[in-house]
Amino acid sequence: MIYMATLWQFFGFPDPEGNTNKIPQPPQESVIEAESVESEVASLEEITDAPHSGSSAIPRGWTGPLTPDGEPFHDMDAYTPSSIGAKIRTALRYVRPDSMHRLPIQGMHRRIQQGDTLIVDLRPLIHMDAHKDACRRQLRHLGEESGVSVFALDLENQLLLIPGVDVVVDVSKHELGLIPVLL
């Protein structure tokens, strides 16, 4: 059985509607069989658990932490953009209407000009179809002013993507990315 990941999982966000793609639990019989197989594997590991030389030797001068197996552990947090001097220019922004059901159009325009990609969520406007249409018109006008297109991410046109000024969306291959260095 194939399970599709949601857009929220793709971007690493929690799913606001809950996890609708839960994997069904296997029948109890297969769980018992899996436990017996795991115990057999564990006993085989105990038998053949001889110290190995390790396929990856510790680099000369290594001062970092080691894994329980004795291999070097590379902490990826040490390689943040601030530590290597790079500055992050663009961001992915999630925007939804405020408590008065308004979109911050001026702030969104500024962010688009800076190159940020916006995901606009109109789903909180559940019973306000006319207001949703007005927000879509505002977003279409914002896209025309900024020189970018507005893309629907769902069938109901309630989750919209507005790429930043330096972001290219390949509509033939449906790929999203930055402007290539060489044109």
- Is 143 contained in some domain? yes
Residue pair 118/141 in contact by the 8 Å Cβ criterion:
no
- Is 39 contained in some domain? no
Work out the number of other CB atoms within 10 angstroms of the CB of residue 51. 6
- Is 59 contained in some domain? no
- Report the domain count for the chain: 1
- Is 33 contained in some domain? no
Q: Give the integer Cα–Cα distance in Å for 50 and 119.
A: 53
Tell me the CATH number at 170. 3.30.110.150
Domain containing 138 equals 90-178
pLDDT at 183: 43
- Is 74 contained in some domain? no
Residue pair 119/159 in contact by the 8 Å Cβ criterion:
yes
For the chain, which ranges sit under pLDDT 50?
A: 30-32, 37, 41, 44, 47-50, 52, 54, 181-183
- Is 151 contained in some domain? yes
- Is 64 contained in some domain? no
pLDDT at 89: 75
- Is 149 contained in some domain? yes
Q: Give the integer Cα–Cα distance in Å for 182 and 152.
A: 29
Residue pair 148/108 in contact by the 8 Å Cβ criterion:
no
